[in-house]
Amino acid sequence: MKTYDVLFLMIGAVMILAMHAGFAFLEAGTVSKKNQVNAFNKIIFDWSITTVIYFFIGFPIAYGIILYKNINLLQANYGYEAIRFFFLVGFAACIPAIISGGVVGRMKFYANSIAGIFIASIIYPVFEGFVWGRIKFMGQPGSFFDQVFGSPFRDFAGSVVVHSIGGWLALPAMIVLGARTGRYKGSFDTRPSNIPFLTLGSWILIVGWFGFNVMSSQKLDDISGLVALNSLMAMVGGTISGLLFSKNDVGFTHNGALAGLISICAGANIVHPIAAFIIGAVAGLLFMFMFNIETNKLKIDDVLGVWPLHGINGSWGGIALGIFGHKAFGATTNVSFLSQLCGTLIAIVFACSTGFILYKLLNKFFGLRMTAHEELIGSDRVFHNIEAYPEDSL
């Protein structure tokens, strides 16, 4: 292990930390003004809670490494395992940040945080261990998937492990909560409260994503320019698709860019750049199409569209690698389609089942939902005793 590997991962970890400012601004710009402070507080508090819980429980479950019991390990190889934890906790913290955008405006502040504790300590680390960690089930050479399908399940930077799991966990949370009061009765303003915040959040996420994807090699000697190029091509594919098919809607344009980046995480190190562009373009269209179905047909109140953006497009990314991950399409290696399909479906079932159990139990024993009066005055005043624009009330 070399010193530059530690520096390499530290830069990636800080870029992912910065991405959470993107989550915060994207949520604050999309929600109503009376819930903006709540968005900012949730993201940083959930990062903090996730760090503590993942350090003591989640990281040991996923990788079998107990940092707090091994001082020598903290110092060995220039502290590589310590900085690797910092890098990986950024992935874990994405899960509550994703869910936050779907349940905003009606979930209690601390109920959201309690859910994050169970996700960071058990739910996410178990699936992470299946693919990246010590549980030889899906993603490791010699794992069950490798033996059955001839190739392990591939997910380079978390299309499925992070985004699909996060999006499909959010779905039962929103179903258990129900829609915001009045959302599907009479007039209800669903317009974003602050377009500059929304677009700023998207741009911060886009820039940070190149740390999310490129640094997933976890060693400087394994860095790949192909990962950066494919991330770029998928991002612009999603942007163009989102703009054209939405007829120049700013929300779908900027979320289209994120949809492209989510979908390419799995195969950024394998597929051809043209395939990456196609994967991203399909993702931008999928987000718009599925968001309309979700909110208008299924009447699921998903404020930021986190299920179609992360859940559907994370799943698309895992399956898309199985489609385009072949040398005949210019890929660097051949990937098993069945491995990618089955792994993605397992992720959906795992996230939905654990999500329903978690949120049903929390709702029964703690109560998830704000009262109708609290929803009316907004979570900023209820939980944080201040509004985003206090001078407006003078």
Per-residue pLDDT of the chain (394 residues; tens, 9 = 90+): 689 999 999 999 999 999 999 999 999 999 999 999 999 999 999 999 999 999 999 999 999 999 988 888 888 889 999 999 999 999 999 999 999 999 999 999 999 999 999 999 999 999 999 999 999 999 999 999 999 999 999 999 999 999 999 999 999 999 999 999 999 987 888 999 999 999 999 999 999 999 999 999 999 999 999 999 999 999 999 999 999 999 999 999 999 999 999 999 999 999 999 999 999 999 999 999 999 999 999 999 999 999 999 999 999 999 999 999 999 999 999 999 999 999 999 999 999 999 999 999 999 999 999 999 999 999 999 999 999 998 776 6
Q: What is the pLDDT of residue 37?
A: 97
CA distance linking residue 239 with residue 256, whole number of Å: 5
Beta bridge mates, 369: 107
CA distance linking residue 192 with residue 10, whole number of Å: 34
CA distance linking residue 340 with residue 270, whole number of Å: 13
CA distance linking residue 46 with residue 336, whole number of Å: 36
What does each C-alpha distance from 77 to 119, 160, 387 come to in angstroms? 30, 30, 47
Q: What is the pLDDT of residue 88?
A: 98
CB atoms within 10 A of CB 299: 11
Which residues, 6+ apart, have CB-to-CB distance to 316 below 8 Å?
159, 263, 279, 282, 283, 286
What does each C-alpha distance from 49 to 58, 96, 143, 171, 228 come to in angstroms? 12, 10, 32, 22, 31
φ/ψ bin of 108: left (φ > 0), alpha (ψ from -120 to 50), beta (otherwise): beta
Q: How many residues does the chain have?
A: 394
- DSSP for residue 249: -
**Lookup: tokens for 162:** 């992070």
**Which residue is listed with tokens 């966990």?**
169
Helix (H, G, I), strand (E, B) or coil at 387: coil
Q: What is the pLDDT of residue 51?
A: 98
Q: Please, is 195 exposed, middle or buried when counting C-beta atoms within 10 Å of its C-beta (0-12, 13-18, 19+)?
A: middle
Beta bridge mates, 107: 369
**Four-residue CA torsion sign, 10, 16, 22, 24:** negative
CA distance linking residue 343 with residue 53, whole number of Å: 26
CA distance linking residue 197 with residue 204, whole number of Å: 10
Helix (H, G, I), strand (E, B) or coil at 115: helix
What does each C-alpha distance from 306 to 52, 164, 193, 280 come to in angstroms? 25, 10, 18, 17
- DSSP for residue 297: I
Domain range annotation of the chain: 3-385
Helix (H, G, I), strand (E, B) or coil at 188: coil
**Four-residue CA torsion sign, 284, 286, 289, 295:** negative
**Four-residue CA torsion sign, 209, 215, 217, 218:** negative
**Four-residue CA torsion sign, 316, 321, 322, 326:** positive
Q: What is the pLDDT of residue 109?
A: 95
Q: Letter for the amino acid at 362?
A: L
CA distance linking residue 378 with residue 3, whole number of Å: 49
Q: Which fold has domain 3-385?
A: Ammonium transporter fold (1.10.3430)
